Structure 1
Amino acid sequence: MTSLRQMHQTLDLALRVGEMLLSNGAGAADVTATMSSVAHHLGMRQVTVDVTFTTLTLSHQESFDEPPLSLTRHVTHRETDFDDLTRVDHLVADLLDDEIDLDEARIRLAQISSTGHRAPRWAVTLASGVVGAGIALLIGGDLTVTLIAAVAAMGIEVLQRYISRLRLPHFYAQAAGGLFASLLAVGVAASHVQADSSLVITASIVMLLAGLGLIGAIQDALTNFYVTANARVLEVMMSTIGVIVGVSGGLTFGRLVGIELTVEPGASGLSRLPLMVAGAAIAAAAFAFAAYAPRRVLLPIAAIAGAAAAIYLLIAERDVGRAWPAAVAAIFIGLISYSVAGRVNVPPLVIVTAAIVPLLPGVSIYRGLGLLAADDLAGILAMITAIAVAISLAAGVILGEYVAQPLRREARRLEQRLAGPRLVGPLRARARAKRK
């Protein structure tokens, strides 16, 4: 470092990179590794990094007889943007490869953070409808249910966007989305349309659960970032409880007006397997598009999600429960996503987050709500099953990454106190640089 100004600029760049990664779902280990690598590469040795769910801190002391330089940045809630995540990942790779210097990196990062989303809002709303339609196909819905689920998903997206503009906490947006979906299902049942309204609610629950930071929470817990893991888990729990509150409110209203929605499984069996796999592929690709993922990765995500859904459905047909099939399918996603991510030049986090969407436990949550509404304590078991499936998905993806992404000797020396696979950050960037 030649000057205090340059040191400040280096720490500021590392902090802003960490903020972009953390706000888009990266794990604390990935964020810490990336920030450490950026500062180390720019000449600042032995930088202390502290990552929590809402705060990033970098500290550096040139010598024992000089005062330390410390910068802190608060991470605000941002809408997930996989395009921004990918562009920041490329920026870090270029910086570590000496293709850009500090000044150019700061300029590019400012452009990324100030540029709006790649897709217009109407396209995101339409993609949300496609997510709902794909989930409806996956869980056995017919054409009518698929169309209604698409309308419900688009309505939820518009409603949540409006609530977000009101600056209300995300809990209320989730509750409003669940209430909207359940009231729509009650309305469909009251109109005597030949459609299984329970499948509409189930598809809507999966959409509301999509994109929550469960993978990051499990990754943080496995890599010993317990404070951040607890915060992420609490956020996921509050969002999920919001969905449960909204859906149960709609079901209660239905009973008050004399409409009882039964919990019925959709059509299934090996004869419908191709259609269900297609639904999973469509839902995952549409979610990735709605999260502004680069278009080149949509087809690989669809293929991976479809294959994972086929694995899950084939194992589940043998009546072994839901958690183990979900875990096996998630391990497959984690294994294959690392290799595919390198080929399409995106972080693995983009692929795994979208690919697990069709496997989220919407069916178990809705079944639990229906049973609890009927004073059946078996609903508690259904809720426990939903939790087990969610944990199995996240832990399975991380295990797949452990197997697919062995830590390199150089990275071990740089990150001695870190353990675990990198879903985004310098390790993947270095591996890609060596392949060039």
Structure 2
Amino acid sequence: MPEARDRYLTLDLALRVGEILLSSGAGAADVTATMLSLTHHLGLRNCDVDVTFTSLRVSYQSDPDEPALLQVRQVRHRDIDYDDLTRVDALVNALLADAIDRDEARARIARIVSTGHALPRWASTLAVGVSGAAIGVLLGGDLPMLAIAFLAAMGIDVLKWRMSRRRLPDFYQQVAGGLLATLVAAVTTAAFPSVFPQPSLVITASVIMLLAGVSFMGAIQDALTGFYITGSARILEALLATAGIIAGVSGGLTVARMLGLDMGFVQPGAAGGFEYVPFMMFGGGLAAAAFALSCYAPWRSLLPIGFIAATAVGVYQTVLIQEIGRTWAASAAALLVGLVAYAASGRFRVPPLVIVVPAILPMLPGLSIYRGLSLIGAEQGDSAEGIVAMVTAASIAIALASGVILGEYAAQPLRREARRLERRLSGPRLVGPLRARAPRPARIQDAEAPPPNT
């Protein structure tokens, strides 16, 4: 019985760690590898781990003649908290390095789960508002438009939070968010037509903020790494969430047309040439850092997230101005994010997921989605062009996720080679060879020779 209890405690620890990772948006491959590393390090060899979208299962059989030990844990609540994710990642590393034992790890993970968020709720909502206003800077809006985008983003966040407290599905939360953003833009345009000449910018900024909560990254990673069941479930969830945004925005546009309001197309002022790229980089970096703060990312990670996002926006806009295409521009920027985020995560002691997801926020295809809806719903619009815009939005989302994952694949061997070179050249080398050679083994005839004086 004591041995069986010990094994159950090990399996329970692996399940608790996997639950936090999966609910925070980690891929099934990462969750499986982490759980297997924990069980193997704690003495349970050849465990079987099965990760799906809503459940985790781990089993262990010490002998073919004995029944297998099996534990299952359901993942029903998904609340992204990058501070908890970072602390769990540090806990796993400490346990694998034998800095703590299993009992200490269980106590720490219990404290992580029971402790609330690092920031109060109002601070997270304020950060969402700042991120929405920064997206407005990215799109080239003026000060009144930034103020409305700030208020609309906070209103959407509060509305989604209250709906989630009532256990309403994410689809209806996305519908309500898109509808609220469109109605806010329509009301402000009707009340102050001369002050808000481009209400579509508010809708586009809100669409990008709604897309930020969609788990494109985990869905594409699961599909690419062979977890097809989990990947299919996550892709379906992402499609439903995006469909909710489309339904909400299209409903708001219909109401605006019934009231005789022309929302117009988005013509960002920051897309005119290279002279606008610095403004877009500033807006993209601020939006990414503020969104990371709204997801309770550690403070030490905000500066690198903002810098990486700003650099990615610069690459994206530079490629886009050359008229190469939005999809290829998104791929190039996402590849850069994946390459840099892997190195930055080790230096700032956060998982790469904490850097990657906020860094691609400024490049999410909110502009293409709104333009497609506007063209499809307009009385004299081009439906074919609208459908092309929606397909472009889907291709941009796939390009961002796959580009980041490819960057991570490329960064891992590069980092290993850099570490080998650093170990080879580290230390004082003012004299002597750069590479120490191992002493040659003694010859047989010298075995009886006396040892040298020390």
TM category (shorter chain) comes to: over 0.9
For 1:71, the equivalent position in structure 2 comes to 71
Match of 1:406, SS state, is helix
| 1:371–1:350 CA distance, 2 compared to 1 (3 A) | same
Aligned match for 1:254, one of 246, 253, 256 = 256
8 Å CA contact 1:59, 1:68 repeated in 2 = yes
Match of 1:258, SS state, is coil
The residue type paired with residue 223 of structure 1 is T
- Per-residue deviation at 1:17? 0.3
8 Å CA contact 1:217, 1:230 repeated in 2 = yes
Match of 1:59, SS state, is strand
How many angstroms apart in 2 are the aligned matches of 1:406 and 1:211? 30
**Higher Rg of the two aligned structures:** 2
Match of 2:78, SS state, is coil
- Per-residue deviation at 1:275? 1.2
For 2:286, the equivalent position in structure 1 comes to 282
How many angstroms apart in 2 are the aligned matches of 1:211 and 1:277? 22
For 1:47, the equivalent position in structure 2 comes to 47
The residue type paired with residue 77 of structure 1 is H
Q: Deviations over 1:219-275 (max 9, x none)?
A: 111110000000100111111111111111110000011112111311022222211
How many angstroms apart in 2 are the aligned matches of 1:51 and 1:4? 23
How many angstroms apart in 2 are the aligned matches of 1:218 and 1:77? 21
For 1:173, the equivalent position in structure 2 comes to 173
| Aligned: 1:240 with 2:242 | yes
| Aligned: 1:134 with 2:129 | no
For 1:148, the equivalent position in structure 2 comes to 148
- Per-residue deviation at 1:387? 0.3
Aligned match for 1:390, one of 381, 385, 397 = 397
The residue type paired with residue 400 of structure 2 is L
The residue type paired with residue 249 of structure 1 is G
How many angstroms apart in 2 are the aligned matches of 1:200 and 1:344? 34
- Equivalent runs, 1:10-409 vs 2, <5 Å: 10-191=10-191, 192-195=193-196, 196-268=198-270, 269-374=273-378, 376-406=383-413
8 Å CA contact 1:334, 1:398 repeated in 2 = yes
8 Å CA contact 1:211, 1:353 repeated in 2 = no
How many angstroms apart in 2 are the aligned matches of 1:407 and 1:358? 27
TM-score by length of 1: 0.92
- Per-residue deviation at 1:355? 0.2
How many angstroms apart in 2 are the aligned matches of 1:203 and 1:321? 21
- Per-residue deviation at 1:350? 0.3
The residue type paired with residue 346 of structure 1 is V
8 Å CA contact 1:82, 1:350 repeated in 2 = yes
- Per-residue deviation at 1:140? 1.5
- Per-residue deviation at 1:141? 1.1
The percentage of aligned residue pairs carrying the same residue is 57
- Per-residue deviation at 1:2? 6.4
Match of 2:269, SS state, is coil
- Per-residue deviation at 1:408? 10
The residue type paired with residue 372 of structure 2 is G
Higher relative contact order (CA 8 A, sep 6+): 1
Match of 2:267, SS state, is coil
8 Å CA contact 1:49, 1:57 repeated in 2 = yes
TM-score by length of 2: 0.89
How many angstroms apart in 2 are the aligned matches of 1:144 and 1:273? 21
How many angstroms apart in 1 are the aligned matches of 2:166 and 2:46? 43
How many angstroms apart in 2 are the aligned matches of 1:197 and 1:408? 46
How many angstroms apart in 2 are the aligned matches of 1:362 and 1:41? 45
How many angstroms apart in 1 are the aligned matches of 2:389 and 2:211? 16
For 1:416, the equivalent position in structure 2 comes to none
Q: Deviations over 1:321-377 (max 9, x none)?
A: 210000000000000001100000000000000100001000000000001102522
Match of 2:309, SS state, is helix
| 1:336–1:142 CA distance, 2 compared to 1 (3 A) | same
For 2:445, the equivalent position in structure 1 comes to none
Give the total of aligned pairs. 411
Match of 2:71, SS state, is strand
Q: Structure 1: where are the runs of 5+ without partners? A: 410-434
- Which moved further from structure 2: 394-403 or 158-167? 158-167
Match of 2:413, SS state, is coil
The residue type paired with residue 195 of structure 2 is Q
How many angstroms apart in 1 are the aligned matches of 2:194 and 2:122? 28
- Which moved further from structure 2: 394-403 or 70-79? 70-79
Match of 2:325, SS state, is coil
The residue type paired with residue 104 of structure 2 is E
- Which moved further from structure 2: 214-223 or 399-408? 399-408
Q: Structure 2: where are the runs of 5+ without partners? A: 417-425, 427-454
